[in-house]
Structure formats: C-alpha cells, structure tokens
Amino acid sequence: MNTKISIIPILVLAIFLIVPACGQAERPALKIVCTTSVLMDPAKYIGGDRVEAISIADPTLCPHLQTDIIPNRIQLNMDFIKNADMFMAYNDSNDQKYNMPAVNDFIKANNFKAFEWNTTSNPSRGWNTPTNSRLLASEVKGWLEEKDPANKTYYEQRCNDYAKTFDAVEPTESEKKQLNETAVIVMLWQKDPVQNWLGMKVVNFFAPEFAMNGTKTAAKIVDDINANPDKYQNVTYVIENMQSGELAKGIEESLKDKGINATRVIFTNFPGSVPGADTMAEVLNYNKHLVL
C-alpha cells in the first residue's frame, strides 16, 4: 500500500491561512485629521495602533487667535492631510469660523480628494467635564466603527478603557467639601465644569468682548466689584481660561484693592497645552488641583 502523502495541498492550505493574517496585520493605520486636540485625544486613544491622528489648531491658543498659525500648521502636515482617511470636527463656533474653513480651502486649493467632516451631534455641549468627555468619546468610537467595522470590538474596548480614565479624576468626598465651600469668579468657558462638576460657588463670571454682546467683560466685573464689594468678600479664586488670553488681571487687582485676597489661576481646556496634561482626563485633573 502506498503511504506517501503529497505535501502540495498542505502547503497550499498553509499559504491561504497565512496570507489573510499577514494582510490584516499590515493594514495601514487610519489617518485622521482633527480640528483640535480635544478630538485628537479620544481618536488616538480609542483608535490605538489602528489610528494616526493630528490636530490642526495649536492647543495653547483659542482658534480665533490663530488665523496666521493654522494655515502654517496645515501646510506642515500637507502629506498627512492629502492622504487622510477621516476628518473630525467638534463643529463649535471656532471650528465653523476658523478650523474647518482653513482645511476646506487648503483641500480645494490643492485639488486633493473630496471628503466629509465627522461632526458632533451637539456642538454647544462643551467637553471639559467627565460626562461630556465620555459623550464625545462615544461619538468618536461610532465614527471609527463606521469607517472600520472590522475592528468594532477593538474600538469598543478601547472606548470603555478611555471612559474609565475619568473615574480617577472625580473629586473625593473631602475634595467635594472643600470645593463646595470655595467662592470664585470664573471665565465663561470654564463656568460649566467649575459650577456643575467641581461644585464651586460662582459669584460672577466674565467673558471676552465678542461674547454675550460685551455685557460680561472683565471691565464690567470690575465695575460691579467697586459698586458691590460685599458681594465678593469670600471670593478665593479668579479662574481664567488659558486659551482665551489673560482677561482677569484687572479683576484680581480690583479684589485686592478691596482687601480681598483672591488668587488668579489659569484653567486649560485643550490636551497638550501644559506639561503633564496630555489627555483630557489629565486636563481636568490639572484644573481641579489648581483650586484645591
């Protein structure tokens, strides 16, 4: 009886088994263009090794202050943008006025391939609380799954891990007690996390000239301090927003003139804007400890 076994079918089967595996391993990472680091952070974390992402805006400045910077950053990332697979935008007013038009114009001027923006469902929601950051992460996960359904399970697990990073930054009971007893004046963009997440007492808030029809500028707050100093007797902190520039020096000085020893601190709301705050969870933790 002939007991010889041909190895050719076995080799053929082995090749068919190996090729798909190799093809999957060598699949290039998705290239994602984000308007800001607020989106780049969850995109990179949830995407893991399946993703490469960049931010158009510099995280240290508000986009409305970057009309000369953003085009340069886009130019420096031309090759990445030209071959990008996805474009993500928060679609707030800064994205609509500055970031997205700059990218759109660049793509059109260079005759690069057409694309569509992935945008959040509620641009007015904000992102600088754990709850809102988790909501944003869920949307980013959905965009990745839609673009790359083969890795849906991977993105789901990574998104769950990302959401857990915010658990560690929640105020402890002792921190909550301290924060609840702390009175502050706060910049408009930080009012929601200061009041609704940290639970601090917001005595008043200020905003840039272009917001709220100029009715809440720092100068208006100074006028109110001079007219109603007793209202501000317990203020401990004046909270700025880093990306908006220094608006509240006059507020701090006015309080000190009234014998109120308040300290001006500077919160940030973009990952990568200060050392040690490279993720959104680290940003929130950084802000929290400035007022503890």
- On whether residue 57 sits in a domain, the answer given is yes
For 32-53, letters b (16+ CB in 10 Å) and e give bbbbbbbbbbbbbbbbeebbbb
Q: Of 164, 182, 206, which one is at a domain's C-terminal end? A: 164
Of the pLDDT bands very low, low, confident and very high (cuts 50, 70, 90), residue 51 is very high
What are the tens digits of pLDDT across the range 91-105? Answer: 999 999 999 999 999
* Residue 14 is assigned to a structural domain of this protein: no
Q: How confident is the model at residue 65 (pLDDT cuts 50, 70, 90)?
A: confident
Question: Model-level pTM?
Answer: 0.88
Report whether pLDDT(262) > 50. Answer: yes
pLDDT the model gives residue 27: 75
The larger pLDDT score, comparing residue 178 to residue 23, is at: 178
| Domain end call among 164, 198, 219 | 164
Q: Are residue 233 and residue 273 in the same domain, yes or no? A: yes
For the residues 267-273, what does the mean pLDDT come to? 97
Tell me which residue range forms the domain holding 89.
25-164
Angle between helices 130-147 and 152-164 (to 10 degrees): 170
**Do residues 176 and 91 share a domain?**
no
Judgement on whether residues 41 and 150 belong to the same structural domain of the protein: yes
Contact 187, 239 (CB under 8 A): yes
Q: Tokens for 18, please give them.
A: 């190996």
Is residue 20 scored above 50 in pLDDT? no
Same domain, 38 and 106: yes
Domain boundary among 164, 182, 209: 164
**Whether residue 143 is found in the same domain as residue 222:** no
CATH code at position 271: 3.40.50.1980
Most distant pair of Cα atoms in the chain: their distance: 110
The percentage of the chain sitting over the pLDDT mark of 90, rounded to a whole number, equals 88
pLDDT of residue 26: 60
In a domain, 19, yes or no: no
Q: What mean pLDDT comes out for the span 192-218?
A: 96
Residue 10 has a pLDDT of 44
Q: How many CA atoms lie within 13 A of 155 on its CB side?
A: 23
Residue at 6 is within a domain: no
Considering the domain boundaries, does residue 18 fall inside one?
no
Residue 4: predicted pLDDT:
47
Q: What is the pLDDT of residues 215-233, one digit of tens each?
A: 999 999 999 999 999 999 9
User: Do 220 and 194 share a domain, yes or no?
Assistant: yes
On whether both 118 and 220 belong to a single domain, the answer is: no
Q: Average pLDDT of the chain?
A: 92
Same domain, 37 and 159: yes
Q: What is the DSSP letter of 182?
A: -
Domain identity same for 95 and 204: no
Specify the 3-state DSSP secondary structure of 67. coil
Q: Is residue 204 domain-shared with residue 271, that is, in the same domain?
A: yes
pLDDT at 169 over 70: yes
Establish if 124 belongs to a structural domain: yes
* Average pLDDT estimate for 175-185: 98
- 164-168 mean pLDDT: 97
- 117 part of a folded domain: yes
* pLDDT, mean of residues 4-23: 46
How many separate domains does the chain show?
A: 2
Q: How confident is the model at residue 257 (pLDDT cuts 50, 70, 90)?
A: very high
- 30 shares its domain with 158: yes
Which residue, 266, 267, 289, 290, is CA-closest to 171? 289
175 and 277: one domain?
yes
